[in-house]
DNA sequence: CTGAAAGCGCTAACAC
DNA sequence: GTGTTAGCGCTTTCAG
């Protein structure tokens, strides 16, 4: 049943009795044609089941109609939702999405991106990658957009960046926490991430002036499992915190689960807050207070931006996304303040 | 700083003082060379920063080193984990992953796949797509593997299929539930999915002989939100179920959350079980009893298989994956049996 | 072991 | 409006 050989533009031209140039122009809708020719073309294409060979096309145009998207961990709902948003915009604009899951494996990033870069018209990359790779990327003559601000290397570069301002996110959360009267906080971070320092400084900008104590912990990965593993150290040490902030929801959820296992009542004994607002956070118990960073909208925005760059349009100035505080039970009714 | 023009194979040939054919063979490691030539080649490539143009290569070879993966909903952790597994194997074998999120949008599947098919050497597709699209796919002369068994159309076709047997999954869960002594069950399914009927028949094969009553409900999507919406109807009707089975964890979690909101104690008043074992299920409250379908391993297996098909190797017979019952608190201590 | 030459399927000038 | 033609960068016989 399967056609042995795909029809080419030449086959169509022959069948329709026109030249290949005409076929090409017709397919790309580059001009108008006599009704006759148009009709014959339609039929020939239909009959032969012709479709363009993207490789041939991109060889002469230099464009691939494909955009690369590299994320740190596709299993993290935050990133999955970014992919979702990006996918929607890409497909809607006739682009395909080449996805690479970096699996938090910083070491091999360069190699993975090199495979992507030649096959794509532009790249979207998590900013949590080494400075030298960022250098290399920004020197490529190909549009690159970063998810979140990359670590500023020597000599601040002009990088296209989409996503929440980490400082703003942290400040928003810290403000709420301070107003609630918490005074002994633990922050479970992930030092290897670029945004970690920013989130920390956002927190400190609120906590320090208010003399709220902030203990810092470093998870070995930004995951729930890592949160669980670290929980005992965070919760059972001296000066037990009144509230634990996870560097993201996943971590917060992990620490919170282990806290319950250890016998703490949440939030009566210890309160919890995260960052991202992944869908899960509504369904854990107690529902997690967090900051919505609009993951899916971020994915849409960054894709919109990179397409604009590729097509040389002045990027419709993106409506800057602002973090949104989401207050749930994990910070209510804390009793030990 | 950016190179105006990428070096081509011809530039390398000129720089090394050899022919382009030699360069090509060297790059593709197709034969050995005199030490001299090899050294010059190495240097020239290094100096020029040369790398192959994939479009040109694939135009002549007809291969793209890219594999397409279409999933119903990338935000569903089950699928995200399939992508994770598939990504790992693809990258490890020198393939790239072209991802398409179908967003549960059955109507436009054909169109989305058509964009993929020309750019890839093979396709992995969720089986929950219309029979005519499956027909079209299987008639393509390109390897296609399905995630889960597609609805068997008229005249059972020979399709490559990877993933759990839905009947087996359901039977496993039903057996446990029956042994626990539950006798009034509700199943919240998603009729539009191919596997729904199979899961149902798996359940019935255990429940019917045991005279366990099974009420069926149809969610409007296989998501937690849909589960929440449907919950009141499931829980507040006549003959309140003792246990609710979600067609997947997401749905079960949604119904369970709403059950608590409605004032039910879980599992004392009503027990819950899901299918998939997404990471979230460990962290909701109470932790959800479910069946692990090895999402990530499925992603790895299906990618392994499609690569074998592409490369004409006899697929190393895949170690059939078997579902694993995961018993957690959502089915313990039920008191109203 | 190395090279010459013939395309792969298509687009983009440029003629007519 | 339509056709001719020159490549895009690469692999692949086939000679030498």
The answer to whether the CB of A294 falls within 8 A of the CB of A164 is yes
Going by C-beta distance under 8 Å and a sequence separation of 6 or more, which residues neighbour residue B272? B243, B244, B245, B246, B252, B255, B256, B259, B266, B288, B289, B330, B331
Q: What torsion, rounded to 10 degrees, do the Cα atoms A254, A255, A257, A262 define?
A: 150
Measured CA B144 to C1' C10 distance, in angstroms: 27
Instruction: Check whether residue A141 and residue A218 sit in a common domain.
Output: no
Q: Which two tokens stand for residue A245?
A: 């902030």
CA–CA distance from A186 to each of A166, A270, B265 (Å)?
18, 11, 32
**DSSP alpha helix (H) spans, chain A:** 9-16, 20-27, 35-48, 54-61, 77-92, 109-117, 131-139, 166-179, 194-207, 224-236, 249-261, 295-310
CA–CA distance from A91 to each of A3, A311, B65 (Å)?
27, 15, 21
Domain assignment present for residue B34? The answer is yes
Going by C-beta distance under 8 Å and a sequence separation of 6 or more, which residues neighbour residue A230? A188, A217, A219, A220, A255
Place of tokens 């942290």: A170
Q: Do B83 and A91 touch (CB under 8 A)?
A: no
Q: How many helices (H) and strands (E) does chain A have?
A: 12, 11
Domain assignment present for residue B316? The answer is no
The CATH number of residue B246's host domain is: 3.40.50.2300
Residues of B in contact with A259 (CB under 8 A): none
Residues of B in contact with A87 (CB under 8 A): 74, 99-101, 103
Domain assignment present for residue A315? The answer is no
Domain assignment present for residue A128? The answer is yes
Place of tokens 């359901």: B170
| Tens-place pLDDT, residues A237-269 | 888 999 999 999 999 999 999 999 999 999 999
Q: How many helices (H) and strands (E) does chain B have?
A: 12, 11
| Tens-place pLDDT, residues A110-156 | 999 999 999 999 999 998 888 899 999 988 889 999 998 776 554 45
**Across-strand partners of A69?**
A99, A124
Q: Do A80 and B84 touch (CB under 8 A)?
A: no
Instruction: Check whether residue A81 and residue A107 sit in a common domain.
Output: yes
Q: Which residue of B84, B116, B280 is in closest CB contact with A283?
A: B280
Nearest to B70 by CA among B100, B97, B106: B100
Instruction: Check whether residue A79 and residue A32 sit in a common domain.
Output: no
Place of tokens 């309160």: A271
Domain assignment present for residue B257? The answer is yes
Q: Which two tokens stand for residue A269?
A: 């004994």
Measured CA A56 to C1' D7 distance, in angstroms: 12
Nearest to B102 by CA among B120, B86, B79, B122: B79
Instruction: Check whether residue A199 and residue A133 sit in a common domain.
Output: no
Instruction: Check whether residue B149 and residue B171 sit in a common domain.
Output: no
Q: Do B3 and A84 touch (CB under 8 A)?
A: no
The CATH number of residue A42's host domain is: 1.10.260.40
Q: Do A55 and B55 touch (CB under 8 A)?
A: yes
DSSP label of B240:
-
Question: Most A CBs within 10 Å: which of B80, B303, B329, as the mutation test of the A interface?
Answer: B80
Question: How are beta strands A213-218 and A184-189 bridged, if at all?
Answer: parallel
Measured CA B306 to C1' D15 distance, in angstroms: 39
Which nucleotide lies nearest residue A55, CA to C1'?
C9
Give the whole-number percent of chain B exceeding pLDDT 90: 76
Q: What torsion, rounded to 10 degrees, do the Cα atoms B202, B204, B208, B213 define?
A: 140
Which nucleotide lies nearest residue A22, CA to C1'?
D2
Question: Most B CBs within 10 Å: which of A89, A119, A121, as the mutation test of the B interface?
Answer: A119
Instruction: Check whether residue B43 and residue B78 sit in a common domain.
Output: no
A24 touches strand C (CB under 7 A): yes
How far is Cα B329 from Cα A284, in angstroms, rounded to an integer?
14
B1 pLDDT exceeds 60? Answer: no
A53 touches strand C (CB under 7 A): yes
How many domains does one find in chain A? 3
B28 touches strand C (CB under 7 A): no
CA–CA distance from A15 to each of A3, A35, A36, A52 (Å)?
17, 16, 14, 16
Q: Do A99 and B100 touch (CB under 8 A)?
A: no
Instruction: Check whether residue A106 and residue A188 sit in a common domain.
Output: no
Domain assignment present for residue A4? The answer is no
Instruction: Check whether residue B26 and residue B111 sit in a common domain.
Output: no
| B283 min Cα distance to partner chain A (Å) | 6
Q: Compute the C-alpha angle A327/A71/A87, nearest 5°.
A: 85
Instruction: Check whether residue B260 and residue B237 sit in a common domain.
Output: yes
Place of tokens 């003959």: B239
Domain span including residue A246 = 166-293+324-331
B259 pLDDT exceeds 90? Answer: yes
Domain assignment present for residue A3? The answer is no
3-state secondary structure B175-238: HHHHHCCCCEEEEEECCCCHHHHHHHHHHHHHHCCCCCEEEEEECCCCCHHHHHHHHHHHHHCC
Output phi, psi for A284, to 5 deg.
Answer: -75, 170
Nearest to A180 by CA among A245, A105, A115, A252: A245
**Tens of pLDDT along chain A (337 residues)?**
344 578 999 999 999 999 999 999 999 988 888 888 889 899 999 999 999 999 999 999 999 999 999 999 999 999 999 999 999 999 999 999 999 999 988 888 999 999 999 999 999 999 888 889 999 998 888 999 999 877 655 445 678 889 888 999 999 999 999 999 999 999 999 998 878 999 999 999 999 999 999 999 999 999 999 999 999 999 998 889 999 999 999 999 999 999 999 999 999 999 999 999 999 999 998 999 999 999 999 999 999 999 999 998 876 666 778 999 999 999 997 666 5
The more confidently predicted of residues B35 and B153 is: B35
Instruction: Check whether residue A185 and residue A281 sit in a common domain.
Output: yes
Instruction: Check whether residue A23 and residue A35 sit in a common domain.
Output: yes
How far is Cα B73 from Cα B69, in angstroms, rounded to an integer?
12
Residues of A in contact with B88 (CB under 8 A): 101, 103
Domain assignment present for residue A2? The answer is no
Residues of B in contact with A66 (CB under 8 A): 98, 119
N- to C-terminal Cα separation, chain B: 74
Instruction: Check whether residue A91 and residue A34 sit in a common domain.
Output: no
């Amino acid at each position: 049943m399967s056609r042995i050989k795909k029809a080419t533009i030449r086959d169509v031209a022959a069948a329709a009795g026109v030249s290949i140039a005409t076929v090409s122009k017709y397919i790309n809708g580059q001009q108008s044609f006599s009704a006759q020719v148009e009709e014959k073309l339609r039929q020939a294409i239909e009959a032969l089941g012709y479709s363009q060979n993207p490789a041939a096309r991109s060889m002469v145009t230099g464009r691939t109609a494909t955009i690369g998207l590299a994320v740190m961990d596709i299993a993290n709902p935050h990133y999955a939702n970014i992919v979702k948003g990006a996918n929607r915009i890409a497909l809607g604009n006739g682009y395909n999405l080449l996805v690479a899951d970096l699996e938090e494996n910083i070491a091999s990033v360069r190699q993975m991106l090199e495979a992507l870069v030649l096959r794509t018209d532009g790249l979207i990359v998590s900013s949590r990658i080494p400075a030298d790779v960022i250098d290399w990327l920004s020197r490529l003559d190909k549009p690159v957009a970063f998810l979140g601000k990359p670590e500023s290397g020597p000599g601040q570069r002009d990088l296209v960046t989409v996503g929440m301002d980490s400082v703003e996110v942290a400040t928003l959360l810290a403000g709420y926490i301070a107003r609630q009267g918490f005074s002994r906080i633990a922050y479970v971070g992930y030092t290897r991430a670029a945004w970690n320092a920013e989130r920390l400084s956002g927190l400190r900008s609120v906590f320090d002036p208010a003399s709220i104590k902030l203990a810092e912990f470093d998870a070995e990965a930004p995951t729930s499992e890592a949160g669980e593993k670290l929980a005992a150290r965070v919760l059972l040490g001296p000066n037990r915190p009144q509230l634990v902030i996870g560097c993201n929801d996943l971590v917060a959820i992990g620490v919170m689960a282990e806290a319950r296992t250890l016998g703490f009542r949440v939030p009566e004994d210890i309160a919890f807050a995260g960052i991202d607002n992944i869908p899960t956070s509504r369904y854990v118990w107690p529902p997690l207070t967090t900051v919505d960073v609009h993951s899916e909208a971020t994915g849409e925005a960054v894709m919109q931006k990179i397409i604009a760059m590729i097509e040389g349009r002045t990027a419709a100035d993106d409506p800057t996304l602002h973090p949104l505080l989401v207050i749930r039970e994990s910070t209510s009714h804390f009793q030990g303040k």
